[in-house]
Each structure stands twice: as structure tokens, then as C-alpha cells.
Structure 1
Amino acid sequence: MYYFLNQYIKALNSSVEHAEFHRLALFKHERLTTKIVTRDFDPMEHLNAANFGLAQDDILNMYDYFQDTVKVKENSTSVKKLNIPISYQLKYDSNVSKAYQGGRLAQTIHHTPGRVGEVASVEHYDEFGNIANRELWDSRGFHTASQLLDYDGAPHAEILYHLDGTRAVERFWEITDDRKGKVIFSIHLINYKGNDYYFNSEDDLFTFFLDEINRQTKTEDTFIADRPGITDIPLVNMKTRAKKYLFFPILHAANPEDLINSELEPSYAEVFKHLDKLDGLITMTEDQARQLRIRLKRLKGKGRNIKITAIPGVAFSNQELKKPQILMNSRPGKKVLYAGRLGVDKGVDNLIRAFALVTPQVPDATLDIRGFGDQDFVQSLENLIKQLNLQDNVTISGYTSNIEPVYDSAKIFASAAHQDAFPLAMAEALAHGLPLVAFDTNFGPSRIIKDGVNGYLLAPGDLYGYAQDIISLLTNDKMLQRMSVNSYESAKDYEFKNVWKQWRNALNLKSKRKASTK
């Protein structure tokens, strides 16, 4: 069994989740029993996962496991099934319905996003108008939890149920020392295999959970920790024997300008003390692997010689790569696309500034920015667009789960990131025939872009040259089409069979199937 360890699957996902989706498809293609393992309790997780093509069997959530709801028959929910007192007056709405007792608000019913009339949660109010408790429904159609709430609407206690309504888990929160939030301080696992267990944190429960699922099979399981700072310590703290690997979705050093000598990125500081408990490290580029090898040689103990393998974060099936190529002259407009997280390190502000140098020469050029990020930063990008008078040319379209049609409608993929472990969206864009324009920064662009062949690689900060390369592509149809063909060809570097060879090397595996590219 192969387990990819993460914190969650959300409606809006980062490169951590997208790399797991690619890897899951690859491992399933190789007929390996594989699951994405998630830690957090989230009644919407299976709905979110389904939006990315994942089935219940692809996900193993910690709380599902202890609630015995890993795989259930999906049902729909409705207000009619809530047994609301007949004396209440209901006012229906598409997102939130309300129940009144006379003139007093008694219940607020939140509906499942994207599902008409289905119930996600119900909040109950006391006679003074305060929210007293909240009932939660799983997106698969069953009552999953009850929360007791404080005056601010945040839970201080929670009960998670089995399908038959009996208690499975109780969780309790306390205010943090800085009084800015709450943290779980006690978890009670009720009558699990005939015993009650108590944990001081989700980390402790997660370690217990990993050991439990590891005991289910007689063969040696493989665990890959994907979410830094969340899944790595529970992995190394496991008591049962397993193969354990640490995956690097981000840079390992706090200072991207000094990857060998600077302090470790905080998420990795603790796990680097326990490298001797791991079987290997996996980066997405050879450049990062090399930097790590140099750093680790300075350490004492077994960890200094740990195996480090570079494997790209994307993998494409032969079926994906054989889709008909979309010619550039059949794609409407002159759209440049960026897809990824919207953060300072991604340099989206510089991308917008560079685009301000494009539009005077290509007035009908457009920049479509797809992704999510901190609200204040996104607002600063909106303000920058207005300051540069680019409202008709640049649009921040938000996160898109079904990104493939967006790739197919664009003519260039542009990235201005200051740093990255591996720009997944850039590699995905190749499979849709998009020429790439990016700065030559750590890590990834120089591995993905063949300068002058499938795109352009610029010196960091060269906004003028960056803009000129976009202009050249948008104004030279033959060059644009030639590079598009080369991008489609470059995507074959990430074909299943090529990426699988690297995974086999990392995990010391023998293939369970004959070579295939279906």
C-alpha cells in the first residue's frame, strides 16, 4: 500500500495537492494500491475531491477512519429531513435558509455549495440571538458532527459520530497564549476496538492513525509526507515499521539566495533532526537535490547520507499526450495565462508591470491570472492593475479547478516567480501547447524551458526583455506556432513511463506490470 500524507483537500488547492493528484494517477496506472491520506476533519472533503476527479476510494481521511465512514453510500440531504418543528416558519434561499419561531431567528440552514437544497450545516440560536450550537452534515449525505460554540461562533467542543449516531470522537479547544485564536488541546477517541484513547494534539492522533492503517497489511507499506510541518513529524514518530519518505513541494531554505548556508525553512527545521528515521528525500528538481546533498554532508549521523531523488511533480498519461494539438490560429484572441498561487514570492505584481510594457505594442493582448492568495495581496494586485490602466487587458479570474479548457484557450503561459520548488502549472501548460516565458530562478524554469525552443528564459528582474519576448510571440504567428509544437513535444519528458522510472529508483521498486503507456 502507498500512502501520500496531506492535511486536507480543499476547494482551492495548492501545488502540494496537485502534485499528489498527478502522482496518484501515475501509481494507479502502475496498478499500485494508493491513497491520499488527509488529517483534518472536513465534511466537504469528498465533494472537493470529486471536483478533481477523485473517488471515495482515492481518499483516506483520519476522522472518516475513526467514524467508520471511509466508504459510504452517498445520499442527498434536504431541509425536509431536518425534523424542524412545525411551529417554525421557513424562509428558503439558495445558499442560506432560515427558520423563525414567531419573530425570533431559531435556525440558520447553510446549503452545500453547488447542490441545490442540500444541507451542509444548521446553526441553532438561543433566546438572546446567540449561536449556541452547530450541526454538521457530510457532503455524502449524513449527520457527522455537533459543535458547542462560544460567543464568537467558534467551537469549544465537538462530537463526531458513527453512522448509527453513536459517538466516535470528542474534541476540545482552548484559547492560544496570544489570545488570537484557538487550538485543540484534547481529543477523546471513544470505544475504539474496545478501548478509549486520549490525545493532546492532532499530531499525536495522526501518528496513532498512521500506525493503525500500517497494521492493516502484512506487507511493508510506503508513506510519503507531502505537507511540510504537518505530516512529517507524525510520520517519523510512527512506532510500526514502514518505508518513509519526505517530499519537498517548497524550498528547503528560508533564504532562497543562500540555499546551502541559510537557516532551514521553518516547516523543515524539526524533521531535519530525524532524517535517520527516513528512507529517502524526494525533490522535484535535480538542482534542489544537489543543494540538499551539499547541506546534508555537513551533518553528523546517519541522516547525512540519506538518498535524495529528483522527480518532477507532474506526470502525463499517453492518452493525455495524444490529444489533438490545438493550433494557435484557432485559439481566439491573444491571451497570456498565469496559473498558480497569488503570493509575493510568485512575482505576479512584476508580471502585471511587464504586461504594461506589452499593451502599447499589442493593444488587444490580455492577461488572465488564475489562482488564489491572501486577500490583501490580491487587492494590491487589483490596485496595481488600475494604477497601470490595465483594466481592459488584465483580469484576476480566481481559482479554477477545471483548468484544462483555460490552458487550451491561451497562447502563452507566463510566470514571474522569484522562487519555486517546481512550477507545476508551467509543466502542465506544455501539455496544452503553450510556449512559456519565465525568469531563470530557483527551481524549475530552467529544467522546463528550452530557451528559444518552447519558450524564453529571462534573467531575474529583466521586465523589458520579458515584455519583448511576449510581444514577439504575440506578433509572429509562425514563431508562436513553432514553439507551440515544441511545447507539446516537451511535455513527453513527463510521460508516465519516464516519471515512473524515477519513482522506481527512489523507492527501490520493481514494476508490477509490463511497460505500458496507456
Structure 2
Amino acid sequence: MIYFVNEYVMALNSGVEHAEFKRLAVFKHAKTSAKILTRDYNYSLHRMAAGFDLDQDDLLNMYDFFQDATMVSPKKTSTKTLHLPFQYQVSPDANVSRVMQGGRLVMKIHHTPGRVGELGFTEFFDTYGNITNRVFYDDRGFKSGEAFLNQAGQVFAEVLYKPNGQRALERFYEVTEDGKGTVLFNIRVVNYQGRDYYFNSEDELFTFFLDEVNRKDGLNDVFIADRPSIANSPLIKMTTPAKKYIWFPIAHATDPFDQVESPLDGNYVEVLSNHLNRIDGLITMTQAQARDLRTRLHSNSIQIHVIPGAAVSDEQLAAGQLPAVNKKENKIIYVGRLEANKRVDDLIRAFKLVLRKVPDAKLDIRGYGSSEFVASLEKLIKELKLTDQAVINGYTPKIEAVYDQAKVFATATSSDAYPLAMTEALSHGLPLVAFDINYGPSEIIQNGKNGYLLKNGDVYGFSEALVKLLQDPAELQDMSSEAYASAQAYSLSKMWQLWQPLVETEKATVGVKMS
């Protein structure tokens, strides 16, 4: 089995998760078994995953595993599931129902978003109005967990249950020195294979989980650490024989312009500096990052696979081309995280320059980020008097139709291992405009054919490239046709050809490990 090791699947996902979704599509196309393996407890995991067309068998969650809940026949819950005492009075509501006993609030029932009346979690109150505990209901229809709170409203203990009601795990917290929060300090796995196990952190439990999954499958599974901050360390600490790979969803060093000599990103120090001999290979999404890693590691003996994170469905590749000149709006689209290194502020400033020559242009910004950073972008839009032309539309899971409404895709990011949205945009016939940065754009954009690759930081040149595409219908159409053609390189079949050599390591070790 091949496992893509990650932290979570959420309602709002980053490029790490989207790359995994695309990867799953590649493996399904090749009829090869693979799963996304997640660490975090989330009673809404499977509802959120379903929003990205994933089913239970596409995921393996650590807590599901110990709760004997990896595959559960879903059933609906409602207030009736709680078997409330007859003396309680329920005031029903679509989002939060209140439960009273006489004039006292004893309970709040939080319903699952989008599922009328179903249980999400409940809160219980003491006679002073303090929350004493919360009970969580898995979206597949069983009581999943319970959190107990101290008088300050902080969680001090949790119990997680199996679908049959038996205890599966217990988690204990202690208050931090400043008294403002709590930290997890002990986890007990209850009666797992006839005995209890104790762990001091989720990292320890996660390593144990990876080894147990490997044992259950008969050993020598393939594990690919996708999210470096939580997957790299547990992976290299595994004790069972397995094939282990480190994937690079970000640049590996701190200076985006010097990936050879600048200090390593903290997520990669342990594995690249001290434990490279414990892994079977590295996976980058570009040839450029692979070259920089080989130079940095001073060795050609570590196996490095180059596999783009992108993949385009056969249905999208077979869809008819939409003539760019027939699109009514001069819309530019950005899709990605809203954070400082994505330089969306520079994109907005470049767009301000575009409006001087294309006054009816629109900028459609799609993505999510911290509320503070999004607020700073909204403030900039207001200061530049762009509120009618530039709009932040938030995270959009089903974005295909949005791409089809735009004419050009633009990103001003200063660092990225591989901007997945760029290949998505190509498959919808959008020419690309981006800076030449580490990594990705130079291996996706054929400068002057399917887009423009600008010198990093040249905001004026960036704006001029956008203007040229919006003002020249013939060039826009030519580049749109080239964009559609470029997307063929990311077909499921072609991506599978790149994955095959690595997947075959289930049967035979490939490459030579560094000692």
C-alpha cells in the first residue's frame, strides 16, 4: 500500500492537500491502491473529505484507526439520538438548539452545517452557566469524543470512543505557566490488542501508528511524508521495515533566492542534516529543486524523483476549448493562499497599473489566509480605490467554472515549490503571468507561448504583460490555445508514468541510500 502522510483534510485546504487529491486521482486511474493518511482528530473529517469527492476508503486517520472506525456504515443523528429526559424543554434551531430545565440552560446542541437537525456537538452547563463538557458526534453517526473543561473553560481531559461506545483513547492536558492555555502531555491508547499504551505527544503516537499500519499490511508499505512539519520526524523514527520518501511542497531553504547555501527550513533540518540514511528517496515537483538539493547534499547517491504535484482529469482535457475572445469580461484570476510570500499585494498594485490602459479589467482573488492578512489586502484595495474592480472571493473548492470565466491567470508569488493552480488554469485555456522564482513557473510557463515569465519584482513589466494579453485578442487567443495544449503534459496517464518507478519500490529497493 502507498500512504500519503499528512496532518488533516479540512473544509479549507492548502496546496498539500490538493496535490494529494490529484495524486489519488492518478493512482485510481492506474488502478493502484493508495490512501491519504492523516494525524489529527476531527469528528467532521469524512464530511469535509466528501466535499472533495473522497470516500472513507480514500482516507486512513490515526484516531479512526484506534477507534475501530476506519470504515463505518453512516447513519443519521438527531436530537432524538440524545434520549433527553422528559423534563427538558428543547428550543429547536437550524444551527444551535437550546435545552432548558425550567428556567436554566442545561445544554446546547450544535447541529452539523448543511445537514438539517444532525448532531455536530453538544455542550453541557453547570448551575453557574459554565461549560463542563462537550460531546462530539462523528458525521457518520456515532458518539466520537468527549472533552472535559475546568472552571476557566480549558480542556483538561478528553475521551475518544469506538462506534460501539467503548473507550479507545484518553488525552490529558496541563495548564501552561501563564495560565492562558493548555498543552497535551499524555495520551493513553486503551486496550489496544489486549494492553494499554502511553505516549507523551501526538508525534510519538503518530510514529507508533505508522508502524502499526505497516505491520497490519504485512510490512514494506510505501510512506510519503507530504506535510513536513508533522510527517517528516515520525516517518524517520519508524522501526518497522518500510519504504520512506520525503516530499517537498515548499522550498527547502530559508532564502527563496538561495536554496543551496542558505539555512535549511526548520522542517527539513532533522531529515536532511542528520537522518538521510533512514529514507529511501526525495520527491520534488521541479527539476530545478532537484538540482539544488543534489548540489546542497553533495551527492548523487540519494534517489530524487521529480514528479509535478499537478494532474488534469481526462474529462477536463477532453472538454471543448472555450474561445478566449468570446469571454465578456477582462477578468484576471489569482488562486492560492493569501499570505505574505504570495505577494498578492504586489498583484493588486500591478492590477492598478493595468486599469490605466484597460479600465474595464477585473481582478478575481480566490483563496484563504489569516483574517489579519486578508484585512490588510482589503485595506489596500480600498486605499487604491479598487473596490469595484478587485474582489477577494475566498476559498472556492469547486473552481472549474470560475476559471472558465477568466481570461488570464496571474500570480506574483516570491516562493513556491510548484503553484498547482497554474496547471489548473492551463487546462482551462488561461495564459499565465508570473515572476521567475524558485520554484515552478519556469517549468510551467513557456515564455511568450502559453504566458509570460517576468523578472522577479518587476511589477511594471508584470502589469504590461497583463495589458498586452487583454488588449490584443489575437495574442490572447494564441496563448489560450497554447495553454490548452500545455495542459496535456499533466494528464493522469503521463503523471502515472512518473510515479511508476517509485511505486515499484514495493517490490524492489530502488537506488542506493546514503550512509
TM-score interval, normalised by the smaller of the two chains: over 0.9
The structure 2 residue matched to 1:341, chosen from 321, 337, 341, is: 337
The structure 2 residue matched to 1:322, chosen from 318, 322, 343, is: 318
CA deviation after TM superposition for structure 1 residue 4, in Å: 0.5
Task: Say if 2:170 is the partner of 1:170.
Answer: yes
Give aligned pairs, total.
Answer: 506
SS of residue matched to 2:357: coil
Partner in structure 2 of residue 515 of structure 1? none
Partner in structure 2 of residue 516 of structure 1? none
Instruction: Give 1:62-73 correspondences, 5 Å limit.
Output: 62-73=62-73
TM-score normalised by the chain length of structure 1: 0.95
Instruction: Give 1:205-284 correspondences, 5 Å limit.
Output: 205-218=205-218, 220-272=220-272, 273-284=274-285
When structure 1 is superposed on structure 2, of 216-225 and 24-33 the one drifting more is 216-225
CA deviation after TM superposition for structure 1 residue 360, in Å: 2.5
Partner in structure 1 of residue 408 of structure 2? 412
Partner in structure 1 of residue 139 of structure 2? 139
Partner in structure 2 of residue 434 of structure 1? 430
Partner in structure 1 of residue 194 of structure 2? 194
Root mean square deviation, CA, Å: 1.6
CA deviation after TM superposition for structure 1 residue 395, in Å: 0.6
CA deviation after TM superposition for structure 1 residue 130, in Å: 0.6
- Letter in structure 1 aligned against 2:280: D
User: 2: distance between equivalents of 1:342 and 1:327?
Assistant: 30
Q: What do the CA deviations read for 1:234-263 (whole angstroms, capped 9, x no partner)?
A: 111111101000000011101112211111
1:246 to 1:179, Cα distance in 2 relative to 1, 3 A: farther
User: 1: distance between equivalents of 2:358 and 2:180?
Assistant: 49
- Letter in structure 1 aligned against 2:73: K
Partner in structure 2 of residue 378 of structure 1? 374
Q: What do the CA deviations read for 1:106-150 (whole angstroms, capped 9, x no partner)?
A: 111111122122110001011111110000001111110111013
Compare relative contact order (CA 8 Å, sep 6+) and give the higher one, 1 or 2: 2
CA deviation after TM superposition for structure 1 residue 81, in Å: 1.9
- Letter in structure 2 aligned against 1:278: I
CA deviation after TM superposition for structure 1 residue 510, in Å: 9.7
Q: What do the CA deviations read for 1:58-96 (whole angstroms, capped 9, x no partner)?
A: 000011011111011111111222222332232222222
CA deviation after TM superposition for structure 1 residue 178, in Å: 6.1
1:103 to 1:331, Cα distance in 2 relative to 1, 3 A: farther
Q: What do the CA deviations read for 1:351-396 (whole angstroms, capped 9, x no partner)?
A: 0001111122222211111111111111000000000000000110
- Letter in structure 1 aligned against 2:156: H
CA deviation after TM superposition for structure 1 residue 457, in Å: 0.9
When structure 1 is superposed on structure 2, of 417-426 and 27-36 the one drifting more is 27-36
CA deviation after TM superposition for structure 1 residue 437, in Å: 0.7
Q: What do the CA deviations read for 1:389-429 (whole angstroms, capped 9, x no partner)?
A: 00000110111111111111111111000110100111111
CA deviation after TM superposition for structure 1 residue 316, in Å: 2.1
Partner in structure 2 of residue 451 of structure 1? 447
Q: What do the CA deviations read for 1:471-508 (whole angstroms, capped 9, x no partner)?
A: 12112222211111110100111122222222223445
Task: Say if 2:11 is the partner of 1:8.
Answer: no
CA contact (8 A) 1:318 1:496 kept: yes
CA deviation after TM superposition for structure 1 residue 218, in Å: 3.3
Partner in structure 1 of residue 297 of structure 2? 296
When structure 1 is superposed on structure 2, of 419-428 and 219-228 the one drifting more is 219-228
SS of residue matched to 1:231: helix
**Gap regions ≥5 residues in structure 1:** 299-303, 512-518
User: 1: distance between equivalents of 2:179 and 2:490?
Assistant: 48
Partner in structure 1 of residue 109 of structure 2? 109
User: 2: distance between equivalents of 1:140 and 1:8?
Assistant: 17
CA contact (8 A) 2:187 2:200 kept: yes
CA deviation after TM superposition for structure 1 residue 186, in Å: 0.6
Partner in structure 1 of residue 389 of structure 2? 393
User: 2: distance between equivalents of 1:29 and 1:401?
Assistant: 22
**Gap regions ≥5 residues in structure 2:** 508-515
User: 2: distance between equivalents of 1:346 and 1:91?
Assistant: 46
Q: What do the CA deviations read for 1:156-175 (whole angstroms, capped 9, x no partner)?
A: 11101111111011011123
Task: Say if 2:476 is the partner of 1:473.
Answer: no
CA deviation after TM superposition for structure 1 residue 317, in Å: 3.3
- Letter in structure 2 aligned against 1:450: Q
Partner in structure 1 of residue 511 of structure 2? none
Task: Say if 2:346 is the partner of 1:350.
Answer: yes
Q: What percentage of aligned pairs have identical amino acids?
A: 53
Partner in structure 1 of residue 513 of structure 2? none
The structure 1 residue matched to 2:481, chosen from 464, 480, 485, is: 485
User: 2: distance between equivalents of 1:324 and 1:149?
Assistant: 57
CA deviation after TM superposition for structure 1 residue 329, in Å: 3.5
TM-score normalised by the chain length of structure 2: 0.95
CA deviation after TM superposition for structure 1 residue 152, in Å: 4.5
CA contact (8 A) 2:219 2:240 kept: no
- Letter in structure 1 aligned against 2:375: Q
- Letter in structure 1 aligned against 2:366: R
CA contact (8 A) 1:297 1:305 kept: no
CA contact (8 A) 1:38 1:59 kept: yes
- Letter in structure 2 aligned against 1:195: R
CA contact (8 A) 2:67 2:168 kept: yes
When structure 1 is superposed on structure 2, of 288-297 and 100-109 the one drifting more is 100-109
1:192 to 1:265, Cα distance in 2 relative to 1, 3 A: same
Partner in structure 1 of residue 89 of structure 2? 89
CA deviation after TM superposition for structure 1 residue 28, in Å: 1.7
Partner in structure 2 of residue 286 of structure 1? 287
- Letter in structure 2 aligned against 1:345: N
Q: What do the CA deviations read for 1:252-309 (whole angstroms, capped 9, x no partner)?
A: 10111221111111111222211100000001111111111111118xxxxx731112
User: 2: distance between equivalents of 1:244 and 1:289?
Assistant: 17
